[in-house]
Amino acid sequence: MTNRILAYVLYGALFIGGAASTTQASDARETPLVRAVKRAMSSVVNIHSEKTTRDHDNLFGAGRGRKVNGMGTGIVVDERGYISTNHHVVDGVDSLRVTLKNGGTYSAKVISTDRTHDLALIKIDSQNPLPVMSMGTSSDLMLGESVFAVGNAFGYEHSITFGIVSALSRDVEVNEKQAYENLIQTDASINPGNSGGPLVNLDGEVVGINVAIRAGAQRIGFAIPIDDARRVIAQLLSVEELNHHYHGTLLKDVKAGVSRKLIVEAAQPNSPAAHAGLRPGDVIVKAGVVDVVDAADFERALLGRQSGESIEVIVKRDDKTESLELTLAELPANMIATRSRRDGGHAQETAEQSPLQQKAWELLGFKLAKVGADSQIFNRSQYDGGMRVVDIRRGSPADVEGIRKGDVLVGLHIWATVSAENVSYVIEREDFPAFGSNRSLKFYILRGRETLYGFMRNTIQVGR
């Protein structure tokens, strides 16, 4: 009996010792990488898209469309559902669906894009605040530093790949229309579906946005440095662009390793910033409840507020902390007009009310607005300008052939349509009625990165 009891005691001791060993092993297994992944994972979303492609013989014919599914990745940049990704992930899509780490699925809409830097902002409407990704800096990245990528690789959601920083300041040309400067090269595997996702350091902070791979190579991927990306994201979040509100503060991000701050360069005369008392050299540390590190933080703190609404802005000035009150104002009309001329923004464009517009509306079924040659729409394209479609008449020739609002008309028949005068020249020609027979009025539009064409019947035979 004594021996049997002793055996049970020894077995129990071994069992208890085994449990302790297992706990110690688990602690050892939770490496800095595992902790960083845990910190970053909940702020990464998977993006699924659907777009329509057209047959080349008649891109806009009824029944010719073919649905294509796409995928990408995004990073939560604001708890209200604002998510950054690549422009090429959302370019020309018909619909977007976002899946969170907790499995929640939402429809998303495109808020703003920057084709040149291949970045975009989308938004979902979530009942609960989303976890915002912790932002690092790319200013002190080191060759050989450990990093990992998170993304929707080949549709495998929230996949992790691990590697190092292979090189810095790479300039990469993808094709004749898209080139990148100052990219991070990494050997963490970047696959189709990773676009728009984060490249993360071992502190769980984003240091880059994955954007491209080297076709035919192994473990050569590229990411946009987060410091460069955040400057663009600040523009994509701009309250002037999205809300037509005005603060009048000229800002500069300064990032050098652990030193990261947002400095006021100037306050425009008679602007809300000037009235609030913001001065050159002020360092903005907080706006409302948002801790401010860069201009993207400042813009998101103001986003969604009403004109006339005030927000407390905390600044450091001469080693002292000051509390200022910034009151947003409506963006002046002359600034809206200037912005529209500069960037061809959708929201600011309106169709000219003229006999030409009326005739184009009656005969072809669209209204047009001028887009300048300096618009980002035409970056790295063959076109010098065009006319954006700002309205479509239901059942019209333009509607039937699949033209939609936002398309840019760049040609009719054999002529370019850079201006209203170009369009007028075509539809006022004596032989214009003949263009309408046998679907022979050819048109060319720019939609995203693609030039599409089709043939419209028109109604000039009756009503000219």
**4 within a domain of the structure (yes/no):** no
Instruction: Please list, in sequence order, all residues whose beta carbon lies within 8 angstroms of the beta carbon of residue 431, skipping any fewer than 6 positions away.
Output: none
pLDDT tens, position by position, 406-416 = 888 988 888 88
**pTM, rounded to two decimals:** 0.69
- What average pLDDT does the segment 332-341 reach? 52
Q: Do residues 208 and 65 both lie within one domain? A: yes
- pLDDT, position 449: 64
3-class DSSP state of 229: helix
Given 276, 296, 330, the domain boundary residue is: 330
Q: Annotated catalytic residue: which of 88, 117, 158, 247?
A: 88
Q: Do residues 153 and 265 both lie within one domain? A: no
**268 within a domain of the structure (yes/no):** yes
pLDDT tens, position by position, 201-213 = 999 999 999 998 8
pLDDT tens, position by position, 287-316 = 999 999 999 999 999 999 998 999 999 999
- pLDDT, position 424: 82
Given 300, 330, 360, the domain boundary residue is: 330
Instruction: Please list, in sequence order, all residues whose beta carbon lies within 8 angstroms of the beta carbon of residue 421, skipping any fewer than 6 positions away.
Output: none
- pLDDT, position 23: 58
Identify the band that residue 97 occupies on the pLDDT scale cut at 50, 70 and 90.
very high
114 labelled catalytic: no
Give the whole-number percent of the chain exceeding pLDDT 70.
Answer: 80
**304 within a domain of the structure (yes/no):** yes
Q: Do residues 54 and 124 both lie within one domain? A: yes
78's tokens:
């604001």
- pLDDT, position 224: 96
Q: Do residues 86 and 180 both lie within one domain? A: yes
pLDDT tens, position by position, 108-124 = 999 988 888 999 999 99
Q: Do residues 352 and 394 both lie within one domain? A: yes
Q: Do residues 284 and 367 both lie within one domain? A: no
- In 357-398, DSSP assigns E strands to 366-371, 386-392
- What average pLDDT does the segment 321-346 reach? 67
How far, in Å, CA of 445 to CA of 406, rounded? 10
- Residue 13 in this model has a pLDDT that exceeds 50: no
**Helices marked H in 42-99 — which ranges?**
87-90
Max alpha carbon distance in the chain (Å)? 117
Selection from 326, 119, 70, 314 nearest residue 226 by Cα: 119
195 labelled catalytic: yes
Q: Of 29-38, 87-96, 326-335, 425-434, where does the model show the most confidence? A: 29-38
- Residue 106 in this model has a pLDDT that exceeds 90: yes
Q: Do residues 358 and 326 both lie within one domain? A: no
How far, in Å, CA of 68 to CA of 183, rounded? 29
Identify the band that residue 272 occupies on the pLDDT scale cut at 50, 70 and 90.
very high
Selection from 261, 263, 314 nearest residue 286 by Cα: 314
- Residue 24 in this model has a pLDDT that exceeds 70: no
88 labelled catalytic: yes
Given 214, 245, 266, the domain boundary residue is: 214
**224 within a domain of the structure (yes/no):** no
**Helices marked H in 344-419 — which ranges?**
355-363, 397-400
Q: Annotated catalytic residue: which of 118, 227, 228, 407?
A: 118
Task: Assign residue 177 the CATH number of its domain.
Answer: 2.40.10.120
- Residue 390 in this model has a pLDDT that exceeds 80: yes
**5 within a domain of the structure (yes/no):** no
Higher pLDDT, 52 or 380: 52
Q: Do residues 146 and 92 both lie within one domain? A: yes
How far, in Å, CA of 460 to CA of 464, rounded? 5
Higher pLDDT, 169 or 27: 169
Lowest mean pLDDT segment, chosen from 44-48, 299-303, 454-458, 460-464:
460-464
Number of folded domains in the chain?
3
pLDDT tens, position by position, 113-154 = 888 899 999 999 998 999 999 999 999 999 999 999 999 999
Residues in the chain: 464
Q: Do residues 385 and 450 both lie within one domain? A: yes
**1 within a domain of the structure (yes/no):** no
- What average pLDDT does the segment 83-103 reach? 92
**303 within a domain of the structure (yes/no):** yes
**Which domain does 272 fall in, by range?**
237-330
Task: Assign residue 368 the CATH number of its domain.
Answer: 2.30.42.10
Q: Annotated catalytic residue: which of 112, 159, 195, 340?
A: 195
Q: How many CA atoms lie within 13 Å of 437's alpha carbon, on the beta-carbon side?
A: 5
37's tokens:
């992944």
Q: Do residues 408 and 433 both lie within one domain? A: yes
Q: Do residues 260 and 372 both lie within one domain? A: no
- pLDDT, position 52: 74
- pLDDT, position 35: 95
Selection from 254, 256, 272 nearest residue 316 by Cα: 254
3-class DSSP state of 204: coil
As a whole number, the mean pLDDT across the chain is: 82
- Number of other CB atoms surrounding residue 128 within 10 Å: 10
